[in-house]
Structures are given as structure tokens and as C-alpha cells.
Amino acid sequence: MPTQFQPESWWQVDLGSVEDVEQIAVWNRTGCCADRLTNVYVLVSGTPFTSGSLSQTLAQPGVWAYHHTGQGGTPSLVDVGRTGRYVRVQLVGNHALSLAEVQVYGRARNAARAMTNH
């Protein structure tokens, strides 16, 4: 699922309610374009993200962030250990974001919901 080439491309999901987010698995593509998942942030918030700007999102109160500087794996696992409703994967720079899959795990269940592309 690729985005357009644009500044700070992102993908996000609304889990529908605030959940205990223990871990997020971000799966890179294997057939082509694996370099498009490099230098990426994984962001979690209990309230909606108010901006598409990475710097503004990082400054938004209550946003938890993890920065993965290398190329994404199959998968790249991110330990979160906090509550959140919104999960975003966002690139640094002007590139197309390309993901194979994102899995959000909670304590008691796998929370996978509708996707929003940008």
C-alpha cells in the first residue's frame, strides 16, 4: 500500500476506542520498494492527531513516539506499553511511504481496524 511522493507521508488507524497498546508490528514490503520504509516514526495517541506535520505531531501533548532510523523489517517490532486510540506510521522527508501490513497488539486481543491513507 504506497502513498504519493510528498513531504512526511503517513498512514494511520483509529482503533475505535482507547486500548492498551503493548506492541506494534510494522511489516515492510518484500517484492519491491523496501527502501520506502526507512527513517520512520511510529506514533500513538489517545486523541486524534491534529496535524500532518511530523514536527507538530511530535509536539502534540500526549503523543508517544518511536523513531526507527533504518530500513523497516518483516516485521519491525515496536514495544509501546501505553494506552492509545490512534496509531500513525510517518516518514521523515519527502518520499512515498510503502507498507505491507501494520499489526497493533493489546493485552487481550489483536486490535486491527479500518485504515486511513494520506
- Please name the residue that has the C-alpha cell 512526511: 8
pTM of the model: 0.86
Give the list of residues 6+ apart from residue 117 with CB closer than 8 angstroms, or none: 1, 3, 11
Fold of 10-106: Jelly Rolls (2.60.120)
Handedness of CA 18, 28, 118, 58 (dihedral sign): positive
What tens digit of pLDDT does each residue of 49-74 get?
999 999 999 999 999 999 999 899 89
- State the pLDDT confidence band at 4, using cuts at 50, 70 and 90: low
Cα–Cα distance, 52 to 9 (Å, whole number): 8
More confident residue, 37 or 113: 37
